[in-house]
């Protein structure tokens, strides 16, 4: 039974690393002669934190921090064996989280 579709979901805190990883994946897929759709950007998740500067006094003195998680999806339709082998050989950045699902 051959895989009909692969969905690669990428997450990163930095957009530069995410874009480089997407480019590497697309290059590996296209060298294998397979059709791919993407990268499709998903909404950025923003997590905000408010921290007191001094815990016991000066309640009005606060610092605010924000962490942004950027996400992209790449869909691969009917991946060939050579494209799958190219994907296995990829060495992506350490700051990028990759999830692969098959349909």
Asked whether the beta carbons of 39 and 10 are under 8 A apart, the reply is: yes
Share of the chain above pLDDT 70, in %: 98
pLDDT at position 1 = 58
Listed by start position, the domains of the chain span 5-102
Per residue in 34-44, pLDDT (tens digit) is: 888 989 999 99
Q: How many CB atoms lie within 10 A of CB 25?
A: 24
Per residue in 54-78, pLDDT (tens digit) is: 888 888 888 999 999 999 999 998 8
5-102 — its CATH code? 3.30.70.600
Asked whether the beta carbons of 87 and 27 are under 8 A apart, the reply is: no
In this prediction the pTM is 0.81
Query: Please, which pLDDT band fits residue 32 given cuts at 50, 70 and 90?
Result: confident
Q: How many CB atoms lie within 10 A of CB 74?
A: 21
Q: How many CB atoms lie within 10 A of CB 20?
A: 15
């Amino acid at each position: 039974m051959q895989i009909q579709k692969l969905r690669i979901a990428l997450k990163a805190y930095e957009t530069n690393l995410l874009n480089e990883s997407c480019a590497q994946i697309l290059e590996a897929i296209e060298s294998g002669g397979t059709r791919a759709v993407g990268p499709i950007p998903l909404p950025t998740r923003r997590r905000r934190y408010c921290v007191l500067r001094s815990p016991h006094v000066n309640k009005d003195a606060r610092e605010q921090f924000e962490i942004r998680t950027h996400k992209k999806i790449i869909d691969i339709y009917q991946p060939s064996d050579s494209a799958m082998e190219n994907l296995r050989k990829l060495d992506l950045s350490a700051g990028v989280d990759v999830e692969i699902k098959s349909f």
